[in-house]
């Protein structure tokens, strides 16, 4: 086999994986879920799940990648021929997500452009966002720009593209997030929001809280879509796997928590404590926040910084999605990076256009009230990902056995501190929870029951 590309060192690997993990999910979805499902209680549940369940699945995926040295399709197949389908399903997830994620990435660049050119007040207009996304050429143009930027990084390769960009963007992202969070906390009325975010409200906690936290965890850690397998295949054997996973988790959870600090108190200050503003879902980032920025002193600058950081978060995630697809094709067909990268970019451009137009000229296409983009999101996140994660647990727990993973983890210094927990979670706890998540998300989408 040809020499595989590698991340140059542990820091490069950790930052690239954290770059994948930290994305739009951390910045708008996490704060909004925390606000909706019990504040402090949600935070606590999320944290517990992250260090048990998230840790276990991430270790398993990275170890699978590093052990086999190939991306998802080949990784599963090379260990057991019957599981080739699992690699295929896992690789299908980024194929579905990448195009529409880039559509949203395009919206982020557009908002950055508006803020940096002094358009705070425009962006705060009531119909600004819907007017923009229901257009044709504008959103497609921004989408293609975002896609093009992602493609350039991927074409530059693992070490010279992905690693370099992550090493620059991730530290900047942390600093910018802290700046906005600190500024937000100084606004009048922000403290009430802070208390709301951190204090447990038992009344909002139910079985659904755990499932919501679990679903978010998956998406946020970029699990069950072959990404961590691919990145693991670029990790050197001398880099410590267990501590890398701890650091990636710390990064991802830390940024999610800070995003809550950045958004919830500011929205509270703006709305005078009316928390319904937080439950706007996706509208939170593109409709509510611009209004919040427009109402604050230095709102133009803060808004610009905010969209820069969201752009960094989205770009590093999109890179991991694209790299996973490119890597599957390169491994399977032996094509060059350049050819594969260009091909994948063209395919993603074609596939993303319907998602973009789904808010405008194609808005008549809808299924159970969802637009094209929402349908893609539902199929990948709520259906395919739990299925892939479930079979990954079965595969590791009962086919290759947890010891195969433990041996890979121990290569560096013979230690795997959380091995006992890993064994129990991968064989029993995780599969049971995954079946619950899958049933509940399908049942609630079909309107059969909602927890």
Site for ligand PHE in 87-116 (CB under 6 A): 97
Q: Which is nearer to ligand PHE, 29 or 66 (CB)?
A: 29
Q: Is the dihedral of CA 282, 286, 291, 292 positive or negative?
A: positive
Taking CB under 6 A as the rule, does residue 209 contact ligand PHE?
no
Rounded distance between C-alpha atoms, residue 430 and residue 137, angstroms: 44
Q: Using the rule CB under 6 A, give the single segment among 23-31, 43-51, 129-137, 263-271 that binds ligand PHE.
A: 23-31
Q: Which of 351, 308, 322 is nearest to 143 (CA)?
A: 351
Q: Which is nearer to ligand PHE, 46 or 128 (CB)?
A: 46
Q: Which is nearer to ligand PHE, 341 or 402 (CB)?
A: 341
Min CB(1)–ligand PHE separation in Å: 27
Taking CB under 6 A as the rule, does residue 24 contact ligand PHE?
yes
Q: Using the rule CB under 6 A, give the single segment among 6-14, 48-56, 215-223, 326-334 that binds ligand PHE.
A: 215-223
Q: Which is nearer to ligand PHE, 112 or 128 (CB)?
A: 112
The packing angle between helices 299-333 and 10-21, to 10°, is 110
Taking CB under 6 A as the rule, does residue 25 contact ligand PHE?
yes
Q: Using the rule CB under 6 A, give the single segment among 66-74, 152-160, 206-214, 218-226 that binds ligand PHE.
A: 218-226
Judged by CB under 6 A, the residue of 177, 220, 247, 288 near ligand PHE is 220
Site for ligand PHE in 237-256 (CB under 6 A): none
Min CB(216)–ligand PHE separation in Å: 8
Strand partners, 367: 370
Tell me the CA distances in angstroms from 372 to 97, 299, 360, 366, 388, one per residue in order: 12, 33, 11, 7, 22
Phi-psi region of 47 (alpha: psi -120 to 50; beta: other; left: phi over 0): alpha
Q: Which is nearer to ligand PHE, 20 or 56 (CB)?
A: 20
Min CB(205)–ligand PHE separation in Å: 23
Q: Which is nearer to ligand PHE, 285 or 372 (CB)?
A: 285
Site map for ligand PHE, 292-331, x if CB under 6 A?
Answer: -------------------------x--xx----------
Min CB(66)–ligand PHE separation in Å: 19
**What is the Cα gyration radius of the chain?**
21
By CB under 6 A, the count of residues binding ligand PHE is: 15
Q: Using the rule CB under 6 A, give the single segment among 15-23, 43-51, 147-155, 427-435 that binds ligand PHE.
A: 15-23
Judged by CB under 6 A, the residue of 129, 132, 219, 391 near ligand PHE is 219
* Number of neighbours of residue 168 by Cβ within 10 angstroms: 12
| Backbone phi and psi for residue 200, each to the nearest 5 degrees, phi listed first | -75, 135
Q: Which is nearer to ligand PHE, 26 or 271 (CB)?
A: 26
Tell me the CA distances in angstroms from 421 to 74, 231, 327, 394, one per residue in order: 28, 24, 31, 16
Residues 6+ apart with CB under 8 A from 253: 46, 47, 50
Site for ligand PHE in 131-160 (CB under 6 A): none
**What's the angle, vertex CA 441, arms to CA 200 and CA 391, rounded to 5?**
105
User: Residue 94: is it exposed, middle or buried by C-beta count within 10 angstroms (0-12/13-18/19+)?
Assistant: buried
> b/e map of 226-263 (b: 16 or more CB within 10 Å)?
bbbbbbbbbbeeebbbbebbbbbbebbbebbbbbbbbb
Q: Using the rule CB under 6 A, give the single segment among 17-25, 32-40, 65-73, 166-174 that binds ligand PHE.
A: 17-25
Q: Which is nearer to ligand PHE, 25 or 54 (CB)?
A: 25
Q: Which two tokens stand for residue 296?
A: 């604050």
Interface residues with ligand PHE (CB under 6 A) are: 20-21, 23-26, 97, 219-220, 222, 225, 227, 317, 320-321
């Amino acid at each position: 086999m040809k020499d595989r590309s590698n991340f140059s060192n542990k820091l490069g690997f950790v930052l690239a994986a954290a770059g994948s993990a930290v994305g739009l999910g951390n910045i708008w979805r996490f704060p909004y879920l925390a606000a909706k499902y019990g504040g402090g209680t949600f935070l606590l549940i999320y944290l517990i799940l992250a260090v048990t369940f998230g840790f276990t699945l991430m270790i398993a995926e990275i170890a699978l990648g590093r052990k086999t040295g190939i991306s998802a399709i080949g990784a599963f197949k090379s260990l057991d021929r019957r599981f080739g389908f699992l690699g295929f399903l896992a690789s299908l997830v980024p194929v579905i997500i990448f195009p529409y994620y880039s559509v949203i990435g395009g919206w982020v660049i557009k908002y950055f452009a508006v803020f940096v050119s002094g358009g705070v007040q425009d962006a705060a207009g009531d119909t600004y966002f819907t007017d923009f996304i229901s257009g044709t050429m504008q959103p497609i143009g921004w989408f293609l720009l975002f896609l093009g930027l992602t493609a350039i990084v991927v074409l530059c390769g693992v070490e010279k593209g992905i690693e370099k960009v992550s090493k620059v963007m991730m530290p900047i992202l942390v600093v910018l997030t802290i700046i906005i969070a600190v500024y937000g906390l100084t606004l009048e009325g922000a403290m009430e929001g802070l208390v709301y975010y951190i204090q447990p409200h038992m009344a909002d906690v139910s079985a659904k809280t755990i499932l919501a936290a679990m679903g978010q965890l998956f998406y946020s850690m970029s699990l069950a879509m072959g990404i961590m397998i691919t990145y693991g295949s670029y990790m050197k054997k001398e880099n410590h796997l267990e501590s890398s996973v701890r650091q990636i988790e710390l990064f991802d959870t830390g940024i999610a928590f800070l995003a809550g600090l950045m958004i919830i108190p500011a929205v509270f200050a703006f709305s005078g404590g009316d928390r319904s503003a937080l439950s706007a879902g996706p509208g939170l980032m593109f409709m509510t926040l611009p209004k919040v920025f427009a109402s604050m002193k230095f709102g133009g600058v803060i808004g610009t910084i905010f969209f820069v950081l969201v752009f960094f978060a989205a770009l590093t995630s999109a890179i991991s999605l694209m790299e996973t697809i490119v890597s599957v094709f390169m491994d399977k067909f032996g094509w060059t990076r350049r050819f594969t990268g260009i091909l994948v970019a063209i395919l993603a451009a074609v596939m993303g256009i319907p998602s973009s137009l789904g808010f405008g000229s194609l808005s008549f296409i809808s299924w159970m009230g969802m637009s094209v983009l929402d349908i893609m999101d539902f199929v990948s996140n709520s259906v395919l990902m739990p299925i892939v994660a479930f079979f990954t647990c079965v595969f590791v727990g009962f086919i290759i056995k947890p010891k195969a993973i433990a041996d890979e983890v121990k290569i560096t210094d013979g230690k795997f501190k959380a091995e006992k927990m890993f064994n129990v979670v991968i064989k029993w706890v995780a599969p049971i929870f995954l079946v619950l998540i899958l049933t509940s998300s399908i049942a609630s989408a079909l309107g059969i029951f909602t927890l």
